[in-house]
Amino acid sequence: MTLRGRLTTAFLVVVFGPLLLGSIFVAMTVATVSQDRTAERLDHAATTVRTSIGAICRQLQAAADAVAVVPAADREAVARQLVTRGLASDIQVSPATPADGADCAEPTGKPASSIAAGATAGSVTIIAAQAVDGDFLARLAATSGARIAFGGRAAPESRTLSAGPGQPLPLTLTVHKSNPTFLYAVLLAVVLAAGGAAVVVARWLAHSTTRPLGDLAHAADQVAGGDLDTRVPIVRPDELGRLAATFNRMTRELKAYVQALTASRDQLRGHLAILGETLSSTHDVDRILQVILRTALAATGARAGLVLLLDPARGELVARCAVGLTGSWDVPESELPKLRLPVGPGVLGGVAAAGEARRGPGEVGSIEPPCRTYVAVPIRAPLMEDPFTEDVGPATLGVLALYDRVGGDEFDDADLHTLRTFAGQAGIAVHNVRVHEEAQRLSLTDPLTGLWNYRYLRESLRREVERASRFGRMLAVLVLDLDHFKEVNDTYGHAAGDAVLGEFARRIRIGLREVDVAFRQGGEEFVVLLPETDAYGGAIVAERLGAAVRERPVMVEGRGAISITVSIGVAVFPEHGADAQRVLDAADDALYAAKNAGRDTYRLAALATGVPEVNFDPTATTTGGPQPPRQARGR
């Protein structure tokens, strides 16, 4: 049922209910009054009839007594005079009462043709009678106002008078019952007229009430369809008029809000495009993550945020940048890498482990940043396929988390979608940086041994020489070459030779300090830079490396133990060369000297021209005993 129908029905119920109840009450009252009036008329008629018949009986008794007291000779004449005067219908002087008469003194209760009263005079009985005929009953009816008949069954509007002293006749009195049909007709007409008026008024009220609501509903449909210029006409300054005015104001504000939102969305898209271009063109991870985090905070209205990257080697999340954190997480930027979380436990660890976003109010891990609400999404690498493995799909690189929206609201699905967008950009940026770093590392390292390659050797040697020259320090350069390595390849195969090179590089790394740097120059020739090391220190390192190679053969799977030795040339900047290339050449010349000395030994380079001689006599414990430096070439 429509609202108009419900309003009409409600109005009619409100109007017709009391109207019908009142009509029923009036009808019942009319019927009761009619019955009461009929009863009153019957009471009056009965009293009148009893009084009239009683008076007639007394009149007859007086007439009989009058005849009885006169002499016998005059009785007939007196009787005729009394009849003539109308005191009785008939007066008889006889010994008994007529058989069909009703004695006023002793009624029988049966219908009779007359009523009589008697008197005695000796043995003579005088009877005065009054005929009970139509005229008699008509006179009684005229006096009482009721129809009178003998006996019979009393109807609802009739009453029976039983015979008794002073009223010897059994009579039935009937009065004319008042007919309220006219009143009922008038009442029905009033009800119908009121009902018709109520229907008309109800339809008018329903129409005048629901029409503005219909206009409002139509306008709401248009607004829902996108027409924000729709307005509702204000017809009357009542509640519906205020509702229409409020709707129009809401529509205007909604239009302004949508315009502002559209402009903000376009602006955000522009920022995202710029951000994407920035992220794609830079390789500074910390700066990228800082830009992403601050942009995410501005876009979602969050109070604080945190970016953590995964350390696969240790299975931990490492904090890289943070804004607005409190408690134990409020540390300087330089201290952030010390803040670590395990993968798995807590909100952030669970996001990193499952690769699924989480949000809401709720408990976070005890070691995580305190907050009321949070939203955290995984930072994933772009979807790609590794041609060397069967792994396909994005890998989790870290977690981007925001905390506590300004205003106290919770983060919603729109915030989650926005944060996923930023996390996607961060994943691309971090992946690009790592790919760039890996490519750069591969361009500077030897894939077989994992040591730096010749390209990085040139750059590192130049840098270390400049540093040593600036601060007046020394730099030792060692050139190492495996002895008879060609025979290893020819005897055991190139695979075994590669294994020997890898193990040799591992032993070099073990024998060096953290500041020392090892390189593979090419083939079986290697270079080691020893910052802040003089000739004596270089000789000690050379002896230690030679012993590490000589004393333990290399175990090659399927080939057994392979014994190898190494020859080493040692040169020191600036003693043996004034620049990077000269000191490297000096070390290479010393290597040739070691080769010519029988291999499995080291030699110190000759002093460069113009450099004071250093009083140092290198003594190397090798298979050939102490050997002086020699300037000779040959492998």
Give the active site residues.
524
Query: SS3 of 625, please?
Result: coil
d(CA 505, CA 525) in angstroms, rounded, equals 11
Pair 115, 132: CB distance under 8 Å: yes
- In the DSSP assignment, the letter for residue 558 is T
Q: Is 560 helix (H, G, I), strand (E, B) or coil?
A: strand
CA distances from 167 to 49, 66, 82, 89, 385 (A): 9, 22, 22, 17, 132
Q: How many helices and strands in the chain, by DSSP H and E?
A: 13, 20
Mapped onto helix, strand or coil, the DSSP state of residue 132 is coil
Give the strand pairing for 517-522 and 147-150.
unpaired
Provide the CA 618 distance to its chain's centre, in angstroms: 83
Angle, CA of 586, 588 and 594, to the nearest 5°: 105
Residues 6+ apart with CB under 8 A from 26: 187
Give the pair of three-digit tokens for residue 202. Answer: 């109800």
394-412: burial string, b at 16+ Cβ within 10 Å, e else:
bbbbbbbbbbbbeeeeebe
- Contact at 8 Å (CB) between 376 and 359? yes
Query: Residue 343's beta-bridge partner residues?
Result: none
* Residue 549 φ then ψ, to 5°: -80, -40
Burial classification of residue 353, based on how many CB atoms lie within 10 Å of its CB (0-12 exposed, 13-18 middle, 19 or more buried)? middle
Whole-angstrom Cα distance, residue 92 to residue 99? 13
Tell me how far apart the alpha carbons of residues 507 and 471 are, in angstroms, rounded to a whole number: 31
Enter the DSSP assignment of 309: E
User: How far is the CA of 253 from the CAs of 212, 239, 244, 413, 482, in angstroms?
Assistant: 21, 21, 14, 24, 83
Give 603's strand partners. 569
Residues contacting residue 538 through CB under 8 Å, at least 6 positions apart: 476, 477, 478, 530, 570, 571, 572, 604
CA 7 to chain centre: 34
Distance between CA atoms of 607 and 590, rounded to whole angstroms? 11
Cβ 586 vs Cβ 577: under 8 Å: yes
Is residue 341 within 8 Å of 349, Cβ to Cβ? yes
The one-character DSSP state at 164 is: B
Q: In what order do the strands lie in the sheet containing 147-150? A: 147-150, 171-174, 158-161
Per the CB < 8 A criterion, the answer to whether 592 and 633 are in contact is yes
